Amino acid sequence: MIPFIKKAFFCLSFIVFVLSCEGAGERYPSVDGNVVPMQHSSLLSIVECDGYTVVDIADPWGDRIMQRYLLVPSAVELPENMPDGILLRTPLDSVILFSGVHAGLLSELGVAKTVKGVCDAQYIYCDAIESGIATGTVVNCGSSLNIDAEAVMQVSPSAVFVLPYENGGFGKLENLGFPLVLCADYMESSPLGCAEWMRFYGRLFGLDSKCDSLFFAVCNGYESLSDTVKTVERRPKLMCELKSSSAWYVPCGESTMGRMYADAGADYLFSAYKGSGSVPLSYEVVLDKAADADVWLFKYNSVEDRTYESLLADFAGYSHFKPFSQRNIYACNTLRRHIFEETAFHPERLLKELVAIIYPELLTDYTLQYYEKLR
């Protein structure tokens, strides 16, 4: 593609993106075609039309369609009379990622070679991509908060996978004109809802059947594990995470992790908090609700492994919780254990880990993969 046409294409893509974000509910009427039934996702809609696929992403913070994508195979001519939306020619052959979570999925699907650039490279734990960064075949595009525009232009990606936020934009990245794939999977309210996004991502790389089959296998594994704890009478009380500065952030009961704690058979002590994200609480509130918890889980990222001694050095108030005095704390060092990359689209793996911690008598042969008992 000659530079002039390429530049015009990117400008047109950006115009479509901006226009589609304004009054998206009005701009995106329903389309005729074969609806792909979603099993757990509340944000995705996929309709297979004649010669193309329409993918709608619902706004997690509103009642509109946040974005519509038109997936058209590169090998065919553009169909006539397509609806409005962002055009993506599939399979994508060059992408920039903002998240190691999606790097893990693309690596599993065998398309990590399409990743030509990343943001926040220090948090990308994927062998193929780390190797590409080291050899220069994968471009470091800076921080997600401070994009290196020249690096992005150097990659000239088919699409950029970004994380949308409420009332947030993408700054100078929007002005470059490359199609933005809004990865709102993290805003789903259930682990399997998040995992179902692999069916969308798979279609971007021509892997429809592969990802559909993989997703249903994930569902079967997850639901089978969840069934094993449904009849357990005593549900251990669970607390999680650590105090950060003046606030203690815990997942709400309707969040992905809140739902997973329930599916693992735990009495999650913060389940009453509504919402799909986390809520900041004071130490006093957490102590009041969780002083007599049975199990404590937390994640951290550090070169040095955390210990009971280091917890006390950080904050003496931790000693007032029963799991501290009874030595029943489990921690995951995300620097060494890639829990986010390996479980976001495989929640059955994390669920098995949680069940093994909460009910060790049920999975006696299981060896912990992500958490380890604090020393």
Model pLDDT for residues 319-372, shown as the tens digit of each residue: 999 999 999 999 999 999 999 999 999 999 999 999 999 999 999 999 999 999
143: nearest Cα among 92, 193, 99: 99
DSSP code at position 317: G
Q: What pLDDT is recorded for position 322?
A: 98
Rounded Cα distance between 27 and 165, Å, is 21
* Residue where the block lists tokens 């949308």: 164
Whether the Cβ atoms of residue 88 and residue 204 lie closer than 8 Å to each other: yes
pLDDT at residue 7 greater than cutoff 70: no
Structure tokens at 195: 């995992």
What's the pLDDT band for 278 if we cut at 50, 70, 90?
A: very high
35: nearest Cα among 23, 44, 46, 24: 46
What's the pLDDT band for 270 if we cut at 50, 70, 90?
A: very high
The residue-averaged pLDDT of 202-227 equals 97
Please measure the distance between the N-terminal and C-terminal CA atoms of the chain and give it in whole angstroms. Answer: 59
Q: Specify the pairing of strand 329-333 against strand 243-244.
A: unpaired
pLDDT at residue 54 greater than cutoff 50: yes
Structure tokens at 323: 């799991």
The residue-averaged pLDDT of 278-293 equals 97
Rounded Cα distance between 93 and 79, Å, is 21
Q: What pLDDT is recorded for position 235?
A: 95
Whether the Cβ atoms of residue 61 and residue 96 lie closer than 8 Å to each other: no
Structure tokens at 56: 């709608």
Rounded Cα distance between 93 and 275, Å, is 37
Angle CA 154–158–164, to nearest 5: 100
What's the pLDDT band for 16 if we cut at 50, 70, 90?
A: very low
What's the pLDDT band for 12 if we cut at 50, 70, 90?
A: very low
Rounded Cα distance between 163 and 97, Å, is 10
Q: Specify the pairing of strand 159-162 against strand 44-49.
A: unpaired
Percent of the chain at pLDDT > 70 equals 93
pLDDT at residue 13 greater than cutoff 90: no
The residue-averaged pLDDT of 187-194 equals 94
196 burial via Cβ count (<10 Å: 0-12, 13-18, 19+): buried
Give the strands of the sheet with 247-251, arranged side by side: 243-244, 247-251, 278-281
Give the number of other CB atoms < 10 A from CB of residue 78: 11
Alpha-carbon Rg for the chain, nearest whole angstrom, is 22
Q: What pLDDT is recorded for position 372?
A: 97
Rounded Cα distance between 267 and 236, Å, is 6
Whether the Cβ atoms of residue 117 and residue 150 lie closer than 8 Å to each other: no
Structure tokens at 219: 């569902």
Inter-axis angle of helices 256-263 and 347-358, nearest 10: 50
231: nearest Cα among 265, 199, 258: 265
Domain ranges (residues) in the chain: 3-93+158-217, 230-373
When comparing pLDDT for 308 and 10, which is higher?
308
Q: For all residues of the chain together, what is the average pLDDT? A: 91
Q: What pLDDT is recorded for position 20?
A: 41
Taking only the tens place, the pLDDT of each residue in 64-109 is: 999 999 999 999 999 999 999 999 999 999 999 999 999 999 999 9
The residue-averaged pLDDT of 140-156 equals 93
pLDDT at residue 134 greater than cutoff 50: yes
373: nearest Cα among 314, 310, 318, 328: 328
How far are the Cα atoms of 105, 124, 184, 218, 344 from residue 100, in angstroms, in the given order? 9, 5, 14, 20, 10
190: nearest Cα among 254, 256, 277, 253: 256
124: nearest Cα among 279, 134, 190: 134
The residue-averaged pLDDT of 98-122 equals 94
Structure tokens at 54: 């329409």
Rounded Cα distance between 143 and 35, Å, is 38
pLDDT at residue 36 greater than cutoff 60: yes
Q: Specify the pairing of strand 86-90 against strand 52-58.
A: unpaired
Q: What CATH number belongs to 230-373?
A: 3.40.50.1980
Phi then psi for residue 153, to 5 deg, are: -65, -35
238 burial via Cβ count (<10 Å: 0-12, 13-18, 19+): buried
pLDDT at residue 277 greater than cutoff 90: no
